[in-house]
Structure 1
Amino acid sequence: MSRDEVDRALARLASEYEAIESSLLALQDHAGRRLLEGADLTGLTRDRWTFAEQAISLLWVHFDAYTEALAEARAVRARRNRPSVTDLAELTELLSGSGVTVAGGRVPDGARALTGPARLTEQVSLQDLVDRMNGWYAQALEVVTAADAVWSALPARIDLLTAEVRRVRSLAGSVGVRPGEHPAGDDLERIVDEVAALRDRVVADPLAFWSTDASTTSGGSRPGRPDTAGYDRLARELEEVRREVEAVLRVRDEADERLYRVHDVLARADATLAEARGARGEVLAKIAAVEVPAVSGPATGLRERVALAVTYRRAAQWQRLSPLLDALEQGVDEELARARESLTAVTEPLAVRAELRGRLDAYKAKAARLGLAEDPELLERHDIARRLLWSAPCDLRAAGQAVRRYQESVAEALAPTPVRNANQNHWGRT
């Protein structure tokens, strides 16, 4: 090497030295490294930290060798302003040859096992030394930063989830949602155990929760992120349990109002059925030759379930009251609808009679308005229809036919015909 080449090499090595020293000091002070040193590790993290810890130790050993080699090269260069041929030969060996002596015990690259023949010392070049240090540094840094990232992201979130679990658990206990008594209670107990186990595993084996980019080639530090899939699943399951518990809470808060409504709707259904039974008697007495459907009695099954709901309410068994109230609300609504349908079916003949009476009166008024009130044929047919409609029992079939005949007679009387008296002047009337 020439003097200029030596000076440039020394300047480059000095710059590298500062960068390496700064990086090693940063690694030494890294919070993740300090946590790893004091942690009781298991699994993947224990295996990788064993490797990384040896790598960090050897990094300092090699850095010391690098420091000594650089200091020796500087000392040789400082002997003279213009180094001799012997100086240049020595500098060439130090700067570009295998002139650096390091202690044996290499840390393997990649995933190779920590095996192989042990050597007390080995001769390497400064460039080989830097390359080796770069590889070990990247692998050690990946372990340290990954563990630190997981510990920074997950334990705090798990602690918040644990606090929420305790809150939901307390809330669930207050409304009787307990293991063995309610499915949500069983789920909550399982979540409690899984959250505790998750935190213990995150603390002991953080690298098991580190997800690296699969597309990144091996070698060097690989980008990644904390794997929160287990935490996210438990958070979703807890949210589902919380909603179930809050639903039971709403049952507790709304129980009295909902039970009052159930009683009220059931009472209205019973009153409607009673009205239907009374109407059926009236129909049988006033309407002849019709089939009147029978009216069922009150829903005794519903009343028994209402009584059971009241028992649950008094015993504060909200988890049992909740599904029962849902079923009761649907049941009493259906019972009221059935009672109304029964009343409609029973009173249909009376409605038909009322409709016929109204139609007869309407056509009589129309006939009177058009000057036909004294028409003998219309009077006779009106009287027949009226007697049938206002007699008891009323024959609806005959009454209906009589009303239709009266309607037809009124329509015929209104039709234009040259035979009728011109003084009545009914041409074109409808």
Structure 2
Amino acid sequence: MDRDEVDRALARLGAEHEAVETSLLALQDHAGRRLLEGAGLTGVTKDRWASTEQAISLLWGYFDAYSAALNDTRELRARRRWPSREDLVELTDRLRGRSVTIASSATHPAPSITGPAKLSEQFTLEELVSRMNELYAGSLDMVVTADSVWSALPARIDLLSAELQRTRSLAHSVGVRPGEHPAGDELEAITHELSTLRAQVISDPLAFWRPAVGSSAPGGGRPDTDRYDRAARALEDIRREIEAVLQVRQDSEERLLRLRDVLSRADRTLTEARSARGEVLAKIAASEVPAVSGPPTVLQERLATAAEYRRHSQWHRLSPLLESLEREAEDELLRARESLGAVTAPLAVRAELRGRLDAYRAKVARHGMAEDPLLIERYDAARRMLWSAPCDLRVAEQAVLRYQQAAREVLVPRQAGPSGPEDRRGDS
């Protein structure tokens, strides 16, 4: 190497020395490293930190050796402004040769880091820089990873735990307690899970880290939040359930009144259906009239149970009972209305036949044919059947049809005019 090459090499190595020193001091002051030193570690983090501590110790040993070798080389270069050939030979050997010897006792290397233990190792300055960079990257990755997990998860777990305590207090106020309600048991399970999760995160943060695929940068990846996310979702589901119970407490009286009204209407409808059935059996002959069931006593008993739950503030039991009662009460009212419709169907048929008979009579009267003997005879026959009890609907319907047929036969020639069929029959 000539003088300029020596100076450029010294400048480059000096810059690398400064960069390594800055990085080492930053690593020494890193909050994650200080936390790791004082934490009661377990699992994979404990093993990784033991190796990382050895790596950091070795890293400082390498740095001290590198600093001493660089200072000695600088002193040799500073002896003469124009170094002699012997000086350049020695400077070249120090800058490019394996001029740095490091005793194993100075750094206490671990076999897992440096391989089998040796009495000493020799490096070029470039090799030493490369080795320090490698050790630094591995140490920083471990420190940054642990710090990232500690920065992310414990705080989130604490916030979720605070929300859990508020939910537990709210649940207790509405009677949702462990052993009495499934949601109370689930709250206890979430409490235990969050407590266990926090302790594990604090003692073994590396167990909650997902490395980024294909990334070689220190700390590449993200915290594993799967267990936290499951607990958060479970708590949210319970919170919504508790809110539903609270809503029941607020509007339970109104809902109970509404239920009583629906069941009362169903009962009145069934009473009307039973009364109508007796009327149908008395007034309509040869007709199948369905039986009418009694009032919904089971629903009334469950309604009384719901009122009892409300009196004793058992909101967690009242909530599902009210929901099922509301559905069943509406079904009962619909059934009662269908029963009334089925029972009164014969009366509706009779009313329709009466209306049809009177409508045709009015039509015949408008055309001046009301006094036709055949029409009068058939009208009177149909009317007697429809206005007498018991009424045989099948026979009455046939009588109405005969009257309609006779009316049509009379009205068609009337509407045809003077040249119609009636006139032609008269000419013949």
TM-score higher than 0.5 here?
yes
> What residue is the counterpart of 2:426 in the other structure?
none
> What residue is the counterpart of 1:292 in the other structure?
289
- For the residues of structure 2 that align with 1:103 and 1:23, how far apart are their CA atoms? 24
Out of 403, 407, 410, the position equivalent to 1:410 is: 407
- For the residues of structure 2 that align with 1:185 and 1:30, how far apart are their CA atoms? 43
In 2 relative to 1, CA 403–65 (structure 1 residues): closer, same or farther, beyond 3 Å? same
> What residue is the counterpart of 1:84 in the other structure?
84
What's the secondary structure of 2:369's corresponding residue?
A: coil
In 2 relative to 1, CA 354–417 (structure 1 residues): closer, same or farther, beyond 3 Å? closer
CA contact (8 A) 1:414 1:426 kept: no
> What residue is the counterpart of 2:178 in the other structure?
179
Higher mean alpha-carbon deviation, 87-96 vs 204-213, is at 87-96
> What residue is the counterpart of 1:208 in the other structure?
207
Task: Quote how far apart the aligned CAs of 1:337 are.
Answer: 1.3
In 2 relative to 1, CA 297–106 (structure 1 residues): closer, same or farther, beyond 3 Å? same
> What residue is the counterpart of 1:127 in the other structure?
126
Q: Which amino acid aligns with 1:130?
A: V
CA contact (8 A) 1:216 1:222 kept: no
> What residue is the counterpart of 2:223 in the other structure?
226
CA contact (8 A) 1:48 1:143 kept: yes
> What residue is the counterpart of 1:195 in the other structure?
194
Deviation sequence 1:97-132 (CA, Å, 0-9, x none)? 1222323146469xx37873353x433221121111
- For the residues of structure 2 that align with 1:7 and 1:114, how far apart are their CA atoms? 32
CA contact (8 A) 2:77 2:83 kept: yes
Deviation sequence 1:62-115 (CA, Å, 0-9, x none)? 211111111111110011111122222221222111222323146469xx3787
Instruction: Please tell me whether residue 246 in structure 1 is matched to residue 243 in structure 2.
Output: yes
> What residue is the counterpart of 2:59 in the other structure?
59
- For the residues of structure 1 that align with 2:370 and 2:135, how far apart are their CA atoms? 119
| Matched length | 421
Instruction: Please tell me whether residue 324 in structure 1 is matched to residue 321 in structure 2.
Output: yes
> What residue is the counterpart of 1:144 in the other structure?
143
- For the residues of structure 1 that align with 2:163 and 2:173, how far apart are their CA atoms? 15
What's the secondary structure of 2:413's corresponding residue?
A: coil
Higher mean alpha-carbon deviation, 238-247 vs 347-356, is at 238-247
- For the residues of structure 2 that align with 1:90 and 1:355, how far apart are their CA atoms? 127
Give structure 2 stretches of 5+ with no counterpart. 424-428
- For the residues of structure 2 that align with 1:99 and 1:386, how far apart are their CA atoms? 133
Task: Quote how far apart the aligned CAs of 1:137 are.
Answer: 0.2
Out of 361, 365, 379, the position equivalent to 2:376 is: 379
What's the secondary structure of 2:122's corresponding residue?
A: strand
- For the residues of structure 2 that align with 1:251 and 1:409, how far apart are their CA atoms? 67
What's the secondary structure of 2:102's corresponding residue?
A: strand
In 2 relative to 1, CA 12–422 (structure 1 residues): closer, same or farther, beyond 3 Å? closer
Out of 263, 267, 271, the position equivalent to 2:264 is: 267
CA contact (8 A) 2:102 2:121 kept: yes
Task: Quote how far apart the aligned CAs of 1:50 are.
Answer: 1.3
- TM-score scaled by structure 2? 0.93
**Structure with greater proportional helix content:** 2
CA contact (8 A) 2:110 2:117 kept: no
> What residue is the counterpart of 2:98 in the other structure?
98
> What residue is the counterpart of 1:313 in the other structure?
310
RMSD: 2.3
Give structure 1 stretches of 5+ with no counterpart. none
- For the residues of structure 1 that align with 2:193 and 2:288, how far apart are their CA atoms? 68
What's the secondary structure of 1:211's corresponding residue?
A: strand
Task: Quote how far apart the aligned CAs of 1:398 are.
Answer: 2.1
Task: Quote how far apart the aligned CAs of 1:250 are.
Answer: 2.1
> What residue is the counterpart of 2:168 in the other structure?
169
Deviation sequence 1:154-193 (CA, Å, 0-9, x none)? 1111111111111111111111222221111111111100
CA contact (8 A) 2:170 2:242 kept: yes
CA contact (8 A) 2:2 2:88 kept: yes
Task: Quote how far apart the aligned CAs of 1:422 are.
Answer: 4.2
Task: Quote how far apart the aligned CAs of 1:424 are.
Answer: 10
